[in-house]
Structures are given as C-alpha cells and as structure tokens.
Amino acid sequence: MYLNNYILPVLSLPRWAKRSVVLMVDTGLCILTVWLAFYLRLGELVMLSGNALAAALVSVSLGVPIFIVSGLYRAIFRYSGWPALTAVARAIAIYGVLYASLFTAIGIQNVPRTVGIIQPILLLLFVGASRALARIWLGDHYQAALKQAGREKVLIYGAGTSGRQLVGAVANSPEMKVVGFLDDDDRLTGHVLNGQPIYSPKDLDSLVATLNVSIVLLAMPRLPRKRRNAILASIRPTRIAVRTLPSMADMVHGKVSYADLRDLDIDDLLGRETVTPNHILLAKSTRNKVVIVTGAGGSIGGELCRQILVLGPSKLLMLDQSEFALYAISQELLSNFPDKELTLIPLLGSIKDDDRMQEIMTTWHPDAVYHAAAYKHVPMVEHNVAEGVMNNVFGTLCVAKAASKHGVSDFVLVSTDKAVRPTNIMGASKRLSEIVLQALADTDTKTNFSIVRFGNVLNSSGSVVPKFRQQIRGGGPITLTHLDITRYFMTIAEASQLVIQAGAMAKGGDVFVLDMGEPVKIYDLAQKMIELSGLTLQNEQNPDGDIEIEVIGLRPGEKLYEELLIGDNPKLTTHPRVMRAQDDFLPWDQLEDDLKKLEMLLNVNDVGAIRIMLERLVSGYTPSTNIVDWIYAEERT
C-alpha cells in the first residue's frame, strides 16, 4: 500500500510535531463538518462566508480548547480504542451543548438552527473515525516496532552449523534479536554470515556498548569443557548474561531450536572434563536384569532410573514413599520412553517396612538394588534425630536383609562425603549404614554389597545451585552460610553413571569414592552465577551492584569443608574416576547387638543416648552443636 511508505516517517516525528498534526486535523474537521452541515440542511453547496464562516470559526474556537482540556492530545492516538473514543464522545458532548446553545437555542442570522445539531454529530463521527483510522494505519506497525526495539540484543558465539541454525531459530523470537556472531577464527572476522556480521571475541567489550548487547548465546555444543571454561572466563568481565545450547548428545534431533536455549549449566564452571562411561560396566548389572531403585523420586534416584532405563533392564522397580515424587518420575519416564510401559513398575512403600520389602523381593526377585533412599538434609535430620537415624540406618538394614534373603546379586548403597568424620546426625547415620553393609558383606551372603560415596550433585534437591538461581531471579540477596565454605560438586548424570559402574566393579564390602575433582568455594560459585546472569555483585567496592551475598552463619551440624576419605590409603580401580577406600568396620556379630540397643533408644526418642551410641559406633563422629532435636528441646522448656 502506497500510504505504508509514510508510516515510519510519521512514527519517527517528535511528540510535539505529532500533536500539532492532530490539532490541525481536528481544526480542519471542525470547518469541514460546518460546511457539510450547511449542505445537508440546504441541499446545496454554500461558500463559507459571512455568518457561515463565523459558524466555522466558532466551531474551531470552541472545539480545539475543549479537546485540549479534555486531554485528547495527551492520548497516543495510535492506541485509540473504546476508552479513547469514549473520551472523544465526552469532549464533543460538551462542545455540542455549547454549539447548539448558540446556533440552535439562541440562533444566528443566516445560519439554520439545525446546523447547531447536525454539525456536532458530524464532528463526533469524523473525529472518531480519524482516531480509528490512525489506529488501523499506524497501530500494528508501531506495536511491531516496539516489540522489535524491546527485544534484547544478542551475539551468537560460534559461527558454525549450530550458530547458523540458531540465527534462524531466534529470528522469530519475541524476546531476542541477533546482532552478530563472535568467532575465534580470525579468518572469519569482518565477514557476513546469514546476514549477520562476524566479530572477534576480543572486541566484546566495545560491542556491548556500541550494539547494546545484553546476552551471549554459546552455540558450540561439541566444544570441550576446558575451552568452554576459557570462553566463560573471558565473558565474565563484560557482565552480560550467557545462555547456552545443550550438548549434541542431548540434542539428538540434530537441529537447533529456540527452545533448546537454556540457562548456563553450572557444571561448566567446575573446570573438569567428564570421563566417557564404560558401557560394559554400565550394562553388567542392568541389561536384561530386574533392577530396583529405592528413593526413585529423589534427585539421584530419579537420575539412576533414567540411566538404567536406557541400558535396557527387563524390569525397573521404582520405590518411593512420596506419592507425588513417584508419580512425577514415572510420568516423566513414560513420556520419554513410551515403549517402556511394561518395564516400569512404580511402587509406593517405606524402606523401613520389612513386610513390604519382603513382598517386593518375593514377587520380582530383583538382580540388583540401588539404594538411594535417605534423609539427606543436614539441618532437617539434626532437628529430627530419631526419624533420621531410623530411616537412614534401619531402612538400609531392612532393604539389605531382604535383598540378602532373596539372593539379590548386587546391592549398591548411595552414600555421601558427609559420612567422613561426620559432625552431624545425617553424616553419622550414613556412615553407620555404610558400616552395616560392610559387616553384612563379611558374613556368609550371596549378595555383593558395596557403597559409593561422593559429594554434592548439581541441581539436586537441597543443592545450593537451584537455591542461588531462585535468589538471583528474585533480586537477591544470595544467602551464604560462611565465606570460606567449600563443597565437592558433580553433575547428577555423571554421579549416577559412576554409581552404576562402581557397583559393577564390586567384590563385596567395597567402599568406592568418586573423584569429584577440586573442591569449589561456594562464594566463588555464587559470584560466577551472578556475573554470568549479566548482573554485578553488590559489596563495599561496588555498593551500586545488583545482587548482594549475605553471610547467615553455619547451620546446625554443618561443616566448612567436606572430605571423601576416612583413611589416606585409597586404591585405584580400572575406572579413572573411581577409587576404592580402605575403611574399618565392626564385625556383624558385635554390630548386631549394638544396633538392637540403638533401635530401642530410637523407639523411646532418647536423643542424648542416641548421640552417645552413634559416637561409639561411628569412628570420628564429633557433634558440632548441642542437641537441637525439636521434640527434645520442647520437652525441656
């Protein structure tokens, strides 16, 4: 349409110019409608002269001031809708009363009285139509221009296949607009790809300012993690947000889409490469086997279910006491693996229920048990001592005895670094559950008991990473228990794969320790998350920063530093990320009597005696706080 050529010039006019144009249009409409009113009344065209001209001038003199006072020129006419038309109607109603009073009620010579009625009606129709036409002509284009201007400017790091596909995927995004590529290949700098210029990453600082870039999209799913870490380190000083594509293994369809973009994986910051899993070890205890995963609704348990299902078990029994968690993981797996419906068996039940455990073992005779069910939240267990110990120790014992009785080949306990020289009830209970399995493995049993011990997993329930993400989205502050606190980290997928592989290497009573790499200082992790979200840290040096890190103090039972080894004599295995620890334990004959005494104390909730018993059974257990059990504290108030 020819008029469309004038849309952008009109929209680019300054506000005062636009108001002047509208005011002149309304002035013209006042004169035009007076002339038309004479024509409709007399049936012939008349010259606007004498009193007829006076009628037109009176219309302008009354109408324009009323329109100004009514705010018609403050409104943006391209938004004209019912509210704007209502405002026009109110203004012209006032105008009509005054105009009709003069030319109809009082009367002016040579001006028909009906003109005082016809002209306001015509003026209402013409002014209203002008607003509606402006909305139709300019509104849609303006909205599109607004959306275009409001989209965040992004640079795509990587001018390869994924980068080219990503340009097309982002083109229709209502949130982002690609303004160029970044690529390390100097030969590409200055060239144009898919209509976008290619820049050198060295110029990122200046590009952020000149192009108003707010996001960098990493489009290099095949890039080694070490190189990704180097790129992230170079981007961090620019204080812009980073989003990334998943690995090519995750993008099995091979085509990049806008939906593939996600927040930066924090495992990119760990500075270590994952080791390719040994598929022989993965399949040894799972392929064509009946496998049970306890705590299947939890972070580790759920990931174990995902990994095991891919390996092709004949049956996968998923046990959890949480109905919602069990439903969620079963629906996820059925959605992702619809052909595995007959393989998946979700089972509600508590690991402390001996009858239920015996019933499950009798019915399916599983070949392998991956025992991930446990209470793991340190402060929560510290406040609920008896229940925590009962679940972690005697729940493990219940499942282990049922497995041994029914000839389960492999039993793998998922343990934690907090079991090493524990300072809290959770860690002590997990170490005691390790001792229970070591002792059982030393008896005449056909079940191959083993333990796999590792640190925190990223994005698990209770992990600092999702908590920090939520706090950053909420504008902060990030709450940190101590400036010097450190933790070991590993991805859930890698940890689960290593659990399966370690279990396949077990000979009975093994305590495997996963190589978690170097411990991560949580303060540094929080700072990186802030900066790679495109925000700045608020501190004394930068009081105007976006997100503050607030130190709230260590929680009950919490340690500054975690350890993975009790002794200093780990042995290597055939897997580069799995070590075999040499940890002492009590023989079953001695341990069994002590466990009976401990169970009696748990039944009467004698928290003080429970702690003393744990100190005796778990070497190195040193409580770091006074008793904070809720019931114990309430009984003493």
Sheet bearing 262-263, strands edge to edge: 192-193, 196-199, 176-182, 152-157, 213-218, 241-244, 262-263
139 contact partners, CB below 8 Å, separation of at least 6: 78, 79, 80
Integer Cα distance of 500 and 174 in angstroms: 43
* Helix locations, 174-255, DSSP H: 204-210, 225-235
Is 177 marked active-site? no
In angstroms, the Cα distances linking 587 to 320, 386, 397, 411, 590 are 30, 24, 15, 19, 6
Integer Cα distance of 179 and 378 in angstroms: 48
Please, are residues 180 and 198 in contact by the beta-carbon 8 Å criterion? yes
Integer Cα distance of 24 and 463 in angstroms: 65
Sign for the CA dihedral angle at 183, 186, 188, 192 comes to positive
Judging by DSSP bridges, how do beta strands 456-458 and 489-491 pair with one another? parallel
Please, are residues 357 and 402 in contact by the beta-carbon 8 Å criterion? yes
Integer Cα distance of 579 and 216 in angstroms: 39
Please, are residues 361 and 406 in contact by the beta-carbon 8 Å criterion? yes
324 contact partners, CB below 8 Å, separation of at least 6: 297
| Residues with active-site annotation | 418
